[in-house]
């Protein structure tokens, strides 16, 4: 099959072995592979360990036509290492003679159930895209990312049906050279489960963890 181009997935989560960012990005990458793209994945937190890894990131960026950036929300922002990665790519792109035409799609997931917590992070990425001379293909925003917790989407059944539909629409649009459609954005931002169920499960998980660490009675402490 003739290649449609190269796609680089950059995963911005420090969570190992698997993160929700990786689950979302990998599903989209697989969709693009089926649509004739060559694909590659790099984990951003591993990149800042050495100069070799940093150079590998820049080389992988240079040979790509589409960059997919998938990361978790940390304190209403992209994680620090993702910002560092964006700064590195921006400097590198402006150091060259001419800017290669490349597209950027961003997927952000957060812990709170409402997807709109990701709006500022998506705006930051859009600004990065302008500064670095990348074509903005769009931003997908998911709330309640802990409900996926790094599991492969194909094994998760009906709970992720809107996520899968959104990523399929995004694959189609990218393969046709279009920005991602509004419908994909809207589907991704739909709650995975009702907010009250998510909060209930979150509270139970929190109490279970506290019990494991022997701090069950300290959950309401206010040390400061």
Ligand X SMILES: Cc1cc2nc3c(=O)[nH]c(=O)nc-3n(C[C@H](O)[C@H](O)[C@H](O)COP(=O)(O)O)c2cc1C
Which tokens in the block code for residue 157?
């059944």
Which tokens in the block code for residue 43?
């984990």
- Among residues 28, 68, 73, 115, which is the contact residue for ligand X, using CB under 6 A? 73
CA distance 62 to 84: 17
Write the interaction track for ligand X spanning residues 35-54; mark x where CB under 6 A is met and - where it is not: --------------------
Site for ligand X (CB under 6 A): how many residues?
18
C-beta separation of 167 from 31 below 8 A: yes
Comparison of 4 and 23: residue with beta carbon closer to ligand X: 23
Residues 142-181 that bind ligand X (CB under 6 A): 145-146, 150
- Among residues 4, 13, 102, 141, which is the contact residue for ligand X, using CB under 6 A? 13
Comparison of 19 and 26: residue with beta carbon closer to ligand X: 19
| Nearest approach, Cβ of residue 197 and ligand X (Å) | 16
Q: Is 74 in the site for ligand X (CB under 6 A)?
A: yes
- Report the DSSP pairing between strands 37-43 and 66-72: unpaired
Q: Is 31 in the site for ligand X (CB under 6 A)?
A: no
Residues making contact with ligand X (CB under 6 A):
13, 15, 19-21, 72-76, 109-112, 117, 145-146, 150
């Amino acid at each position: 099959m003739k290649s449609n181009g190269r796609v680089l997935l950059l995963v911005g989560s420090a969570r190992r072995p698997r993160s929700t960012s990786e689950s979302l990005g990998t599903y989209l990458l697989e969709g693009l592979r089926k649509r004739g793209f060559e694909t590659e994945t790099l984990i951003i937190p591993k990149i800042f360990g050495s100069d070799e890894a940093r150079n590998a990131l820049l080389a992988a960026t240079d040979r790509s036509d589409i960059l997919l950036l998938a990361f978790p929300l940390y304190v209403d922002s992209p994680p620090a290492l993702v910002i560092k990665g964006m700064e590195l790519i921006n400097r590198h792109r402006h150091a060259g003679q001419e800017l290669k035409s490349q597209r950027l799609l961003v997927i952000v997931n957060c812990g709170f159930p409402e997807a709109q917590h990701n709006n500022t992070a998506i705006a930051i990425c859009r600004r990065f895209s302008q500064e670095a001379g990348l074509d903005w293909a769009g931003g997908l925003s998911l709330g309640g990312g802990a409900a996926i917790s790094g599991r492969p989407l194909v094994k998760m059944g009906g709970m992720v049906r809107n996520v899968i539909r959104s990523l399929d629409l995004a694959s189609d649009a990218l393969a046709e050279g279009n920005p991602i459609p509004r419908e994909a954005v809207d589907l991704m931002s739909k709650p995975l489960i009702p907010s009250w169920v998510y909060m209930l499960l979150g509270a139970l998980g929190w109490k279970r963890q506290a019990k494991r660490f022997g701090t069950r009675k300290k959950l309401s402490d206010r040390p400061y």
